Amino acid sequence: MDVTFRIRRYNPEMPDQAKPYWQTFELKDVQETDRVLELLHRIKWEQDGTLAFRRSCSHGICGSDAMRINGRNALACKLLVKNLGPKVQVEPILGLPIKKDLIVDMEPFFDHYRSVMPYFINNDPVPADGRERLQSQDMQNIYANSTNCILCACCTTSCPSFWANGKYVGPAAIVQAHRFIFDDRDQGAKERLEALSEPDGVWRCRTIYNCTPACPRGIEVTRAIGEVKLAIMKGSPEGIINPNEITVHS
Ligand code: SF4
Ligand code: F3S
Ligand code: FES
Q: What is the mean pLDDT of residues 118-135?
A: 90
Ligand 1 geometric centre to CA of 14 (Å)? 33
Choosing among 1.20.1260.10, 1.10.1060.10, 3.40.190.10, 2.60.40.420, the CATH entry for 107-245 is: 1.10.1060.10
> Long-range contacts: 52-60, Cβ < 8 Å, 24+?
52/11, 52/100, 52/101, 52/102, 52/103, 53/101, 53/102, 53/103, 54/102, 54/103, 60/150, 60/216, 60/217
Model pLDDT for residues 163-179, shown as the tens digit of each residue: 999 999 999 999 999 99
Indicate the pLDDT class of residue 132, thresholds 50, 70 and 90.
confident
Ligand 3 geometric centre to CA of 160 (Å)? 24
Give the closest residue (by CA) to ligand 1 atom 3: 149
Indicate the pLDDT class of residue 128, thresholds 50, 70 and 90.
confident
CATH number of the structural domain 3-104: 3.10.20.30
Provide the whole-model pTM.
Answer: 0.94
